[in-house]
Structure 1
Amino acid sequence: MTQDLLGTASALHVSDEFEPLMDRLEALVPLIKANGAANEDARRLGDDVVAALHESGVFRMGIPVSLGGYECSPRQVIAVIEKLAYADASTGWSAMALQMESGTTAAYLSDEATEQLYADGGYELMAGQGTRPDNGRAHKVKGGYLLSGSWNFASGVPHAGYIHTAALVEGTGEAMIFTLPKAQTTVVDNWNVMGLRATGSHDYIIEDAFVPDAFVYPVGTKEPLHGGALYSVGLANMAGMNHAGWALGVGRRMLEEMAALARRKSGAPGAGVDTAQFHADFAEAEAKLRAARAFVMDVWADNEAALARGELLSTEQETLTRLALNHATWSAHAVGMTVYTWAGTAALRTGDLQRYFRDLHAGTQHVTSGPVVLQQCGKALAGLAKNPAWQFFSLVERGERA
């Protein structure tokens, strides 16, 4: 099959800002760790943490260079989100969502919109739900759309000034992403959940809000108006790289928490951590997490090579991207279960280990790592789908096999 070629997008950009950014984030790890419990109690990130993240430059990571961002490459993005999720799962998730939606908005909207949203090298943060267009409807009017609907899971919305949301256009059924000021929406303070509480992933309602044409783009677009080849992967694959980094960071933190607990318990009478079974289980958990990370990075190295050649990702590459995310998520889950088993009652008490266990289980429920996506990956890889293609997180068959 002939590889599809990119249109006007330029080469894949690998950011020189990556190493300095990682150094700045490493310096923030103590602050982020120290605020984990308080953030959870508040059901949002603390002002000090948010200010430090802004100052670090992490929210510029996904914004095109031409608009004042860093435009980090996929493996750079994965490493950054991994570091933040290691420091605190909710901080990692919030930063992941905010920077991804702010970056893709910059890439896919026209100059008319970006000149307002990213004026003078600044940026606006976006939050919202981009995977449920059937939750909203947009009525075409002169110069734009009247948008209405109700959506869930606006991760990081307490810190955003704009909403990024998917809806269906009346008459055509086309799924579009709409960007509008948060002031035009009603945020419903209902994020009362088991895990990832500090992400503030509240619901929101929009009633007949006018959104200009310049602030709208198709959900499935892979044609950036700003930036390079990174943005030709589309929203679904952007989510794949970001969520994979989050899972790997959470898994690593849980293993390190368990190792620290084991060292404290070792030598006590009857300590389980001194048994050969714990040693074997810990080794298996370490291997599982490292294997998951290697798979993710191998898939994205191959993807980056295709983008650098000026190619769009093939169906197989998109399939492996979704599979690598699923594998990373559920490998981190397996690590978490091993840690919970051997931590004993320490896992029940208030503290970092308990919070990470709950945050991990909240993260596994995201649609990107769900069982249906895994099933579709298997169908495609086994050659049982007829001329398959991915439409967001759904595998569609276009007729007889090629």
Structure 2
Amino acid sequence: MQLTQTLSRAELVRRAQELVPLLQRNAPWGEENRRLHDETIEALKDSGVLRMRVPARYGGHESDSRTVVDVISELARGDGSVAWTASVWAISSWMVGLFPDEVQDEVFADPDVRISGILSPGAMAVPTDGGYLVNGKWSFNTGSQQSQWNVNAAVRPTPDGQHEPVMVLIPMSELQIIDDWHTSGLRSTGSVTTVAENVFVPENRVMSMIPVLQGQHSSVANADSPVYNTPFMPTACATVGAPALGMAKAAKDAFFERLPGRKITYTAYESQSEAPLTHLQVAEATVKIDEAEFHAHRIAEALDSKSAAGEPWTLEERARVRLDLGAVCQRAKEAVDILNTASGGSSVYSSVPIQRIERDIQTVNLHAILHPNTNLELYGRVLCGLEPNTHYI
């Protein structure tokens, strides 16, 4: 499929919906092999959804946040691991859009390029002639084995003898892989550990992280783009919350697909659909999915509207985004838990999707940035007049 024009939200969502059966079919293979199936990656590429956060001048769609949320949540209805990987590729592509334009020219020469990324500093960048020598490692590096570039966090020395966090952009061919992704959830994401040993990174592929977190960047061509004038953490939160929303919808789809003809064993109910308990369960799960969607869309709409209007963000607004992200994950997990509980003993077979969805949503809720309790505490601190205890806001 040749993509020659920017695709609308409706078209991208439609294409994501069309991918769902294929993603469902390939999900068991991905679990077994701990990476995405090649057919899945080709389908994502052909659909154009991987170009959502590629600048339009390179053939990308430069999609707004609401589009990104809606597309990625649809992918999660097929496979949560696909959606999580796509969310990492999307936010990492957006991050490259903050680098100097000549760096973007190199990376986006292929508009279908896949870029993975890690936000936690796991390496040291030591100044050398023309750039930096980087040594260290990054765990949980989603999709890195199936990516061409890696945008990672490191620290570099400062003149006062301290260190500051930086973003470093490295070709995957220059990193080593430690195949350690043996997990209970999100198995297909291939979130292995990558290692840098004396990797030279040119000066223009290194950016100070604190200005990036504050909304400053080095691109001239993207300076006036609403997509690239959104703050880093709210942008990331909107993107990585979408898989959780889609997983909850997938659980509902999976439950109702198996419902016809099922009975409740060791009871008089020959049809589970006639039991009042089932009515309460599906209604409560649906309410929680609706609540998750509200919070996911509230982040996206704030990003899109404030960026279009050129409005600054208050500290409370930034903290509320973290609250919304935690709420998406918490409500989505609660919905999946209800539907999983209602699915009966036969749902433990690996051929039944809801057991995988349950493990995937549990894994998402353990992520340090997505963890509901962490996000609740952060928002509460700000409401109580205290400073946030993190730069990631």
TM-score, structure 2 as length reference = 0.89
Aligned in 2, Cα 1:111/1:123: closer, same or farther, shift over 3 Å?
A: farther
- Determine the structure 2 residue equivalent to 1:223: 216
- Determine the structure 2 residue equivalent to 1:145: 132
Aligned in 2, Cα 1:27/1:104: closer, same or farther, shift over 3 Å?
A: same
Aligned residue among 379, 382, 385 for 1:380: 382
- 1:199-245 Cα deviation digits (max 9, x unpaired): 00001111111000111122241124143122233332222111221
- 1:182-208 Cα deviation digits (max 9, x unpaired): 121111011000011100000111111
* 1:61-210 to 2 correspondences below 5 Å: 61-105=52-96, 107-119=97-109, 122-130=111-119, 132-133=120-121, 135-171=122-158, 172-210=162-200
- 1:141-174 Cα deviation digits (max 9, x unpaired): 1211111111101111121011111001123411
| Counterpart residue identity of residue 33, structure 1 | Q
Instruction: Out of 294-303 and 63-72, give the one that drifted further.
Output: 294-303
Residue 18 of structure 2 is aligned to residue 17 of structure 1: no
Asked if 2 retains the 8 angstrom alpha-carbon contact of 1:233 and 1:312, the reply is no
The SS at the match of 1:265 is: coil
Structure 2, unpaired ranges of 5+ = 1-5
Asked if 2 retains the 8 angstrom alpha-carbon contact of 1:273 and 1:342, the reply is no
Asked if 2 retains the 8 angstrom alpha-carbon contact of 1:63 and 1:102, the reply is yes
The SS at the match of 1:147 is: strand
- 1:256-302 Cα deviation digits (max 9, x unpaired): 21222222315875345532122112211101110221232134323
Q: In 2, Cα distance between the equivalents of 1:380 and 1:257?
A: 39
The SS at the match of 2:153 is: strand
Asked if 2 retains the 8 angstrom alpha-carbon contact of 1:63 and 1:104, the reply is no
Asked if 2 retains the 8 angstrom alpha-carbon contact of 1:128 and 1:153, the reply is no
Asked if 1 retains the 8 angstrom alpha-carbon contact of 2:30 and 2:36, the reply is yes
Asked if 1 retains the 8 angstrom alpha-carbon contact of 2:134 and 2:199, the reply is yes
Q: In 2, Cα distance between the equivalents of 1:72 and 1:190?
A: 34
- Determine the structure 2 residue equivalent to 1:328: 328
- 1:4-44 Cα deviation digits (max 9, x unpaired): xxxxxxxxxxx753222222222222111111101111111
Cα distance, 1:99 vs structure 2: 2.3
- Determine the structure 2 residue equivalent to 1:285: 285
Instruction: Out of 311-320 and 193-202, give the one that drifted further.
Output: 311-320
Q: In 2, Cα distance between the equivalents of 1:113 and 1:253?
A: 38
- Determine the structure 1 residue equivalent to 2:25: 34
| Counterpart residue identity of residue 125, structure 1 | R
The SS at the match of 2:170 is: strand
The SS at the match of 2:197 is: strand
TM-score, structure 1 as length reference = 0.88
Q: In 1, Cα distance between the equivalents of 2:207 and 2:268?
A: 61
Number of aligned residues:
373
Cα distance, 1:332 vs structure 2: 0.9
Q: In 1, Cα distance between the equivalents of 2:92 and 2:299?
A: 23
Q: RMSD over aligned Cα, in angstroms?
A: 1.9
Asked if 1 retains the 8 angstrom alpha-carbon contact of 2:90 and 2:239, the reply is no
